[in-house]
Amino acid sequence: MTAALVTDAPLAHLGWHPVEPIAKPPVLLLHGVGGGRQAWDDASSGTGAALAAAGFRTLAVDFPGYGLSATISPYDLAGLASAVERLIDWLGCGPAVVVGHSMGGMVTQELMARAPQAVAMAVLASTSPAFGKPGGDWQRDFLQSRFAPLDAGLGMAGLAGPLVSAMVAPEMSAARRAVAQAMMSGVPETTYRSAVAALVNFDRRAALPSIRVPTLVITGELDRTAAPEVARRMAGFIPGARCAVVPSAGHLLNIEQPEAFNRALLDFVRTC
């Protein structure tokens, strides 16, 4: 099933229109800090096509500053959530199922806190309700470690290789690893710096009990960034939330184990 690139929308996106649509909310796929709309296409995870084959209108977005979407200023999670809300309004068909990976999961939480009417269901993949440890030192050290290759002039390609390898399961195939590295390498350096800096102030732990839509929290068995125990604890604070763990997957679970991820996603969204 072929996706169409749409640029005349609040956010550029790949759009899949099912041959036999069902009367269900559209699905928005939100990428992580090192991703883009390509995280959900056939070369990466096949998630967009799998949802469309099941009858769901599906959109894989470029966040502001990524791909073909214009950037925003200030660059923060509130602004990213507002951009997603504008896209949902632009669709004109009511609330959406929002699937957010990593940073995209944080944006999904921000969206539900600020505009709960925009979300019909939520999938929080390899994410957390707060970033790092309180106090500031951890955040400072994180920023320094992430920006060090860039400050050394290695560029996004120099950052992507080691970082992807650190995030994924050891048995991830070389072909899938190359896909993830190419995608991260293609993120503009200024956007990457802005997005990573925006994450360190995120904290929506207090908002978890207020989530009132069906929610799936899913992560990889070997994810060291959003570990299974973090996912289970997070799901425990969200009324009625489900939790799933994808075997043999690290932080890029949708690319590492696409069949298992897509199966869990479809099983969940079919209940809406």
The CATH code of the domain that includes 28 is 3.40.50.1820
pLDDT given at position 156: 98
pLDDT given at position 149: 95
Q: How many CB atoms lie within 10 A of CB 109?
A: 31
Rounded distance, CA 129 to CA 234, Å? 7
Residue 193: domain span: 4-269
Looking at residues 73-81, what average pLDDT do you find? Answer: 97
pLDDT given at position 62: 98
What percentage of the chain carries pLDDT values higher than 70? 98
At 137, the pLDDT band (50, 70, 90 cuts) reads confident
Looking at residues 59-79, what average pLDDT do you find? Answer: 98
Are 111 and 81 in contact by the 8 Å Cβ rule? The answer is yes
Rounded distance, CA 94 to CA 183, Å? 31
pLDDT given at position 7: 98
53 phi, psi to nearest 5 deg: -65, -25
pLDDT given at position 135: 64
pLDDT given at position 109: 98
**The token pair that represents 106 in the structure block:** 């944080």
What does pLDDT average to over the chain?
95
pLDDT tens digits along 32-65: 999 999 999 999 999 999 999 999 999 999 999 9
245: exposed, middle or buried (C-beta count within 10 Å: 0-12, 13-18, 19+)?
A: buried
- The total number of structural domains in the chain stands at 1
Looking at residues 156-166, what average pLDDT do you find? Answer: 96
pLDDT given at position 95: 97
In this model, does residue 159 exceed pLDDT 90?
Answer: yes
Plot region of 36 (φ>0 → left; ψ -120 to 50 → alpha; else → beta)? left
Rounded distance, CA 30 to CA 20, Å? 24
pLDDT tens digits along 2-17: 799 999 999 999 999 9
In this model, does residue 1 exceed pLDDT 70?
Answer: no
Listed residue (262, 272, 188, 263) closest to 29, CA to CA: 262
In this model, does residue 97 exceed pLDDT 90?
Answer: yes
Are 171 and 82 in contact by the 8 Å Cβ rule? The answer is no
What percentage of the chain carries pLDDT values higher than 90? 90
At 139, the pLDDT band (50, 70, 90 cuts) reads confident
